[in-house]
Chains A and B, each alone.
Chain A
Amino acid sequence: MRSASASKVTARERALKTLFCEPPQAQDTASAIKSYVLDHLRTLLIELEAQCLSNGIQVHWANNAEDANQIIVDLCKESAKPGDVIVKAKSMATEEIHLNHHLDEAGFETVETDLGEFVVQIDHDTPSHIVTPIIHKTRKEIAASFSREELGPYTEEPKELTMQARAHLRKKFREAKIGISGVNFAIASTGHLVLVENEGNNRFCTTAPDVHIALMGIEKVLPTPAELPLFLPLLAASATGQLLTTYVHFIKSPRQERETDGPKAIHLVILDNGRTNVLQGPFREILKCIRCGACLNVCPIYRQASGHAYGHVYSGPLGEVLAPALEGVESFGDLAKASTLCGACQEVCPVKIPIPELLLEIRHRANSPSTSEKLAWTSFAQASQHPLVWKFGLKLLPLAPMARHPFLTSWLKRRTLPTRVGRDFRGWWNERS
């Protein structure tokens, strides 16, 4: 296991070094930008709302999960009838509010389209990792589920299983009346909704149906597109060791006159659900999180216990802070005890959240042994039942480029973020095109 995790960490580090001359400086800058965002949240959200409205995106505000679910179900009822298909892209925010349950109750056929989330859905399971939801399942288990759902002839080949899912979900995309997604970054100055992914299901969800509904936490806003050359690669490298995810979508408006496809209406639902409380309290830094999953990947406790033991949609070091911060230390404070405070999480965090410090603060405020006992027990149980968990470190590696980047040694030229290219570059570009 140690060598597996070592190569995993190497993929992340290799990607960061290919991109940034000094990766820690990139992390510090990202952290500073996120501080700026939290300090100026009202200004940025007002700007974002105004830009979205002028681009034709409708904006809705939700104080809590209940309101958000109500808003989304009502929007769905406007454009679809019971029995209609709603396709969903992977989104932690929709999981946080348990949206699927409400859509199902309203009679819609809700289909998770991320491969991992799809497997979780047909198995009535829950995701065990925020980036790779079925890290706890073996190919045999998935094969059994697919054959039970009659997706195709029984096979344990990952490639064939994936193609069965492709064929099944392709039909759903074609049928769907509504697509629902999260948002990775919302740009205040332009109103762009920026979504990242590797599979392409996000792109189908936000392109094929006539209506796109996006749900975002208030903290997802960034000031301008100039922050993206930092955040996009930082997120990809931290999550999977890639330089950039396969797809980055810049969604600006519903289908325009000269466009042949794309949704005719886009709704942005801006969710609080405890975040403004966190903003004013001692755990505010956790709102910088960009959900990359790096802290889960390096956490010795997470790797032994798997995400399910945390009992919350947000697991790992991130969840140990975010769950009690959002829902109260009374309900989830025990999670903070499931940490050795080894500090690995803070080190890999692309926005430098001082997770161990925040955990200590939560421990001060909570006092019950139940969850930490559960985690200790589960680590034994998991280790014996799921040998796969031990191989965890290798899981994300295949997404990273395999070879060492040849430019690495010679990419010495450096530039700075805010001012660097400007007019010279534009002139150069205009001459060429």
Chain B
Amino acid sequence: MNARETILNSCPLGEPTDPWPAPYFVLPPGSVVEAFKTSLNLLGARTIDENELAGYIGPKTWVEPNAGLEVNALNGFQNQVDLWDAEVGIASTVLAIAQTGSVCVKSGQGNSRLATLAPPINILIVHRNKIVPSLLEALELLPDGNVAFITGASRTADIEGVLVPGIHGPKEVLVCLVGGEH
């Protein structure tokens, strides 16, 4: 018998059972946009306006190709820097979660995973109408493919419990809200 069979034969097949009891989740009241901003605030992530983007564009900025399609300020920008050496990374997101202040990024079609990881400053573009109340909806709408939820900046508290941002990923995460709410 190979390892697969040995292991599987020692595991129970199981009978169908009743669904488990449902836990109740606390949900944000009112506007998901305001709730999202409040959560970001608690995480120390700043929100910026579309017109503030220009201030972050320079020779060491990496802009994801499809971010330019979404935001005029980035349209036509040519990347001059290797992504590994970029100081600012600007990337698009597919949805955001009000309850936790998280964004969901998906790789493919112009989006690279390193764009939200390697540069010390990370700007995430979030459409106001893509903000969902909680993880429940985010998991329901989980896009196909390789995705990640990002909640604030990379951080560690390994040395004597002192919180230090930017151990491996971005030291600073900024969220640029675009579009209308409806």
A and B assemble together: yes
Instruction: Point out residues on A near B: beta carbons under 8 Å.
Output: 17-22, 25-26, 28-29, 32-33, 36, 38-43, 45-46, 61-63, 67, 113-116, 119, 132-134, 138-139, 142, 158-159, 161-163, 165-166, 169-170, 173-174, 198-201, 203-204, 207-208, 218, 225-226, 228-230, 232-233, 240, 242-253, 256, 258-262, 270, 272, 276-277, 279-280, 388, 391, 394-399, 401-403, 405-408, 410-421, 425-426, 429, 432-433
Main SS of chain B's interface residues?
Answer: loop
Q: Known interface pairs A32-B20, A36-B17, A198-B156. Does A411 touch B102 (Cβ–Cβ under 8 Å)?
A: no
> Which residues of B from 32 to 71 have beta carbons under 8 Å from A?
35, 38-39, 42-43
Does A63 contact B12, Cβ atoms closer than 8 Å?
no
- Chain B nearest CB from A107 CB (Å) reads 26
For A29, the closest partner residue in chain B by CB is B23
Instruction: Point out residues on B near A: beta carbons under 8 Å.
Output: 2-4, 6-15, 17, 19-29, 35, 38-39, 42-43, 84, 99-100, 102, 107-114, 117, 129-130, 132, 134-142, 144-164, 166-170, 182
Does B159 contact A250, Cβ atoms closer than 8 Å?
no
Does A45 contact B6, Cβ atoms closer than 8 Å?
no
Does A244 contact B26, Cβ atoms closer than 8 Å?
no
- Chain A nearest CB from B147 CB (Å) reads 5
| Given pairs A29-B22, A115-B167, 6 additional interface contacts (CB within 8 A) | A21-B25, A166-B166, A200-B154, A200-B167, A415-B24, A433-B129
Does A115 contact B24, Cβ atoms closer than 8 Å?
no
Specify which of A29, A166, A249, A279 is in contact with B21 (CB 8 Å cutoff): A29
Specify which of B26, B35, B137, B146 is in contact with A421 (CB 8 Å cutoff): B137
* Complex Cα spacing A382 to B108, Å: 51
- Chain A nearest CB from B78 CB (Å) reads 16
Specify which of A116, A259, A407 is in contact with B28 (CB 8 Å cutoff): A407
Does B156 contact A199, Cβ atoms closer than 8 Å?
yes
Does A401 contact B11, Cβ atoms closer than 8 Å?
no
Does B145 contact A134, Cβ atoms closer than 8 Å?
no
